[in-house]
Structure 1
Amino acid sequence: MDSKQLLAFALDKIDDMKARDVVQLDVRDTSDITDYMVVCSGTSKRHVQSIADNVAKEARHAGEEPLGYEGQDEGEWVLVDLGDVVVHVMQDHARSYYDLEKLWG
Structure 2
Amino acid sequence: MENNEVIQIAAEACDDIRAEDIIALDMNQVSLVADYFLICHGNTERQVQAIARSIKQAMDERDIPVGRIEGMEQGRWVLVDTGDVLCHIFHKDERNYYNLERLWGDAARVPLHIGEEG
- Residue 87 of structure 1 aligns to a residue whose secondary structure is strand
SS at match of 2:86: strand
Identity of aligned residues (%): 36
**Structure 1 counterpart of 2:103:** 103
Within 2, Cα distance between the matches of 1:3 and 1:58? 14
Amino acid at match of 2:4: K
- Residue 10 (structure 1) shift: 0.9
Name 1:60's counterpart in structure 2: 60
Calculate the TM-score normalised by the size of structure 1.
0.94
**Contact preservation (8 Å) 1:6, 1:84:** no
Within-5 A mapping of 1:1-105:
1-105=1-105
Structure 2's unaligned 5+ residue stretches are 106-118
In the aligned structure 2, how far is the partner of 1:26 from the partner of 1:44?
Answer: 27
Aligned residues: 105
Contact 2:9-2:58 within 8 A present in 1 as well: no
TM-score (norm 2): 0.84
Letter in 2 for 1:40: C
Moved more, 31-40 or 86-95: 31-40
Q: Distance in 2 between matches of 1:64 and 1:15?
A: 19
Q: 2:113 maps to which residue?
A: none
CA contact (8 A) 2:70 2:78 kept: yes
Aligned-pair CA distance for 1:11: 0.9
Distance 2:98 2:43 in 1: 17
Cα displacement (A) at 1:32: 2.1
